[in-house]
Amino acid sequence: MFLSYAVVLATAVQCGEEAGGALCPGGICGWDGAPGGRYAWGYCFNEEVGCPAGYCDNNPNYPCYAGVNYCGRGPMQLSWNFNYGQFGESIGQKEELLQHPEVLKTNVTLSFMSAFWFWMTAQPPKPSCHSVITGEWIPSANDVSAGRLPGYGVTTNIINGGLECGHGPDSRVESRIKFYERYCDILGVSYGPDLDCYNQRPFSWGLLVESI
């Protein structure tokens, strides 16, 4: 039962943080004075704010289409052409997702499928978030030397480590932890070890792009 709680908690919390944390009437995100507090709210954005360009990697298997923007969309804010392509490939819609990634804003089923796909799928050298939170992932010697030990913090590293991990305290990481702790408290379960990634070397260290 604890394992089931852990999986649901970690998935929901990371999705909530990636999607902006909160949604209340009028589309205003949660804030400290909001009913229940800042961390009592759900999703906020179905697309990365501003939808910046530049999420195009030179990948012949998942080519970028002219005029198409592969910015973050959906509960996990799926981004980059190779992620849209791999997700599309897994459901037999590779070309559709590469040509029209914006469908994740309007198709609720596909949107949540993209989040589950990212959560469940390993992208070496990164393990899947699922394998980490269920305790199946065993860190290698390189992982240990990089400070990547089993715990919630590694899921943050997998998702956005290139921006949030390895440089000491980060407000985005702290926000993820606060959401996680809130739901753990509601269910009456422990937080587990290693919640942050402040001193973890990102999985993308030495690589060209971050995976999400």
Instruction: Note the pTM of the prediction, 2 decimals.
Output: 0.84
CA 198 vs. chain centroid, Å, equals 17
CA dihedral 139, 144, 150, 155 (to 10 degrees): -90
CA distance 133 to 151: 7
Whole-number average pLDDT of the chain: 86
**If pLDDT is split at 50, 70 and 90, which confidence band does 28 have?**
very low
Examine the pLDDT at 123 and tell me if it is beyond 60.
yes
Is residue 18 within 8 Å of residue 72, measured between CB atoms?
Answer: yes
pLDDT (tens digit, 9 = 90+) per residue, 126-140? 999 999 999 999 999
As given in the structure block, the two tokens for residue 80 are 């980059």
Average pLDDT over residues 28-49: 80
Examine the pLDDT at 23 and tell me if it is beyond 50.
no
**If pLDDT is split at 50, 70 and 90, which confidence band does 41 have?**
confident
Residue 18, exposed/middle/buried by CB under 10 A (0-12, 13-18, 19+)?
buried
Q: pLDDT value at position 3?
A: 52
Domains of the chain, start order = 1-44+122-211 (1.10.530.10), 46-112 (3.30.20.10)
pLDDT (tens digit, 9 = 90+) per residue, 167-182? 999 999 999 999 999 9
Examine the pLDDT at 207 and tell me if it is beyond 80.
no
The half-sphere exposure of 102 on its side-chain side, counting CA atoms within 13 A, is 6
pLDDT (tens digit, 9 = 90+) per residue, 3-16? 554 555 555 556 55
Positions marked active-site: 17
Average pLDDT over residues 78-107: 97
Examine the pLDDT at 94 and tell me if it is beyond 80.
yes
Cα dist from 139 to 164, 195, 203, whole Å: 20, 16, 12
**If pLDDT is split at 50, 70 and 90, which confidence band does 31 have?**
confident
